[in-house]
A and B are shown apart, each in its own frame.
Chain A
Amino acid sequence: MAYIEIRGVGKTYHSARGSLRALQPLDLAVAEQQFVSLVGPSGCGKSTLLMIVAGLLAPSEGEVRIRSTPVAGPYTDLGIVFQRDVLLDWRDAVSNVLLQAEMRDQDRRAWEPRARELLRLVGLDGMDRKFPWELSGGMRQRVAICRALLHDPPLLLMDEPFGALDALTRDQLNLQLQRIWSTSRKTVLFVTHSISEAVFLADRVVVMSPRPGQIVETIDVELPRPRHLAVRESPEFNRYSQRIRTIFEQLGILSEL
């Protein structure tokens, strides 16, 4: 039984101006402890799919099951990271991480050592008492990741978490995410529009078509771990990237004109 079962999930948005078909009915199974990337052009519905898996959005058809239980509302045994870090301005870094505990009716003091340890692990040593406006974008996103990991959830959903960051910070965070994942082996669903990020991080890459989104292909990435940044120049890596690029070209997303 797969950890996440997505069966026939489709989504149509209805508004005064008519209806918008965001997702065609699609099926996907994510195995436990697998790192799966969802890659596709803007507007293809990958974020919508993630929100449906999280139970934050109801599908128009189909269902999602996590650990065989249907998702009927916001699923809480997970950590979620959005593209915007959404930290609370009135709390310092460690208090922002501890929000996860407080919202779950836990005593924050019990979780404080773990929060500090997580911040240290992502390279924010000594930044515990800093406020979000004193931190750079990359630092804030790292605080958001620590917040998502505080309660050690078995599932991690990430919606273009590094999309708003510069290339160097992005590479750094890719490496840190890989390191965190390899030590804790969570199931991860990672949405991105970067082909190279998708291939670098994942065990499987799910390629989506433009709106209305559907799964065009699923590619197993057989590169050995741990992966160093240099692997992105290797011929094997390029073969994967090329395959995905070709798919996008065929779908009309990329053209060499």
Chain B
Amino acid sequence: MVEGEVERPAGAMARPAPGWQQRLVVRGGPALVFVGLLVLWEAAVVVFRVPRVILPAPSVVLGQIVSNPGFLLSQASTTLLEVLLGFALSLVIGIPLAVLIVSSRFLENTFYLLLAVMNSVPKVALAPLFIIWVGTGLPPKVAIALMIAIFPIVIDTVIGLRSVPPEMLDLARSMGASYRKVFWKIRFPAALPSIFGGAKVAMSLAIVGAIVGEFVGADRGLAYVILTSQGSFNTPRMFAALAVLSVMGVVLFYAVDFMERRMLPWHVSHRGEAVGQSE
């Protein structure tokens, strides 16, 4: 039976493997655009004689970072810890919560209503309350980060767990599979793409939460640096903190994205790459 040669497999795309020049353009392109924008920025500050306090030139910001890297790094590590703890807790609490919601109609109705109500209260408004309740230091920032980041995790995990085709579940029932087997071998893997989608959003929100927490009551951290820089009109330092914060955000986001690629090579969003390499 020569089926494999006559039929065309559904996933294969008929485009040639990219050459090294194309790959350089694709990878190098965004970096070049970014550098170009920095150059424009520098030029604009000089040409229009923009005051340093309004918009410092990239060279000035860079100088700020380079002159005292230890300071910024230590502040960044505080913020990073807040973000990572908030994110990790949102997964550890959010995913089991979603599993509970899916397993019981009663729980679903109760929790979803609760979540909807809590979600409509802007968590940032609760930040001062958290300071009173939990005090200062790490815990309130982590709590706020957790509070915001948990929503996409719960919602997307519930959606993912429900995304199994009913025929698959019928099949599992006719195989006599236990609920636990069905969950671990079918429902949970099927939910992973959705969970990762939620995780990417949660990561971004955990950063927001940590920043809000630092704005409201902190004595260290990158957002704290931003706030105090405002007080002393030290715009270059503000920009330096913003730059480090942005880099941190990008790295964290791509860390989740990388984990997704590693764990879900089979997903429709990653298939083109795998097929291109294997053939």
Contact = CB atoms under 8 A, between A and B. Distances in A.
The 6 closest A-B pairs by CB, nearest first: A123-B1, A76-B176, A103-B177, A103-B175, A133-B11, A74-B173
Interface in A102-158: 102-105, 123-127, 130-131, 133-139
Contacts of B189: 88, 90
Interface of B: 1, 3-4, 7-12, 165, 167-168, 170-177, 181-182, 185-186, 189-190, 264, 266-268, 271, 275
Given A89-B266, A102-B181, A133-B10, A76 B174 contact: yes
A99 B175 CA distance: 9
Contacts of A192: none
Given A89-B266, A103-B181, A82 B171 contact: yes
B186 A88 contact: yes
Contacts of A105: 181
A13 interface: no
Contacts of B181: 102-103, 105
Tell me which of A84, A90, A99 has the highest count of chain B C-beta atoms within 10 A of its own C-beta: A90
Main secondary structure of the interface of A (DSSP, over half): loop
Given A82-B167, A84-B165, A86-B165, A136 B7 contact: yes
A189 interface: no
A168 B159 CA distance: 38
Contacts of A51: 170
Tell me which of B1, B186, B268 has the highest count of chain A C-beta atoms within 10 A of its own C-beta: B1
A55 B170 CA distance: 10
Interface of A: 51, 54-56, 74-76, 78, 80, 82, 84, 86, 88-90, 99-100, 102-105, 123-127, 130-131, 133-139
Contacts, number: 85
Nearest to A157: B174
B268 A55 contact: no
B171 A86 contact: yes
Nearest to B175: A103
Nearest to B274: A131
Contact of A138 (B3, B12, B171, B268): B3
Tell me which of B173, B174, B181 has the highest count of chain A C-beta atoms within 10 A of its own C-beta: B174
Contact of A136 (B10, B165, B266, B267): B10
A86 B10 contact: no
A18 to B, nearest CB: 23
Given A84-B167, A86-B168, A139 B176 contact: no
A134 B3 contact: no
B14 to A, nearest CB: 14
A54 B174 contact: yes
A136 B186 contact: no
A45 B174 CA distance: 20
A127 B167 contact: no
Given A84-B165, A102-B185, A78 B3 contact: no
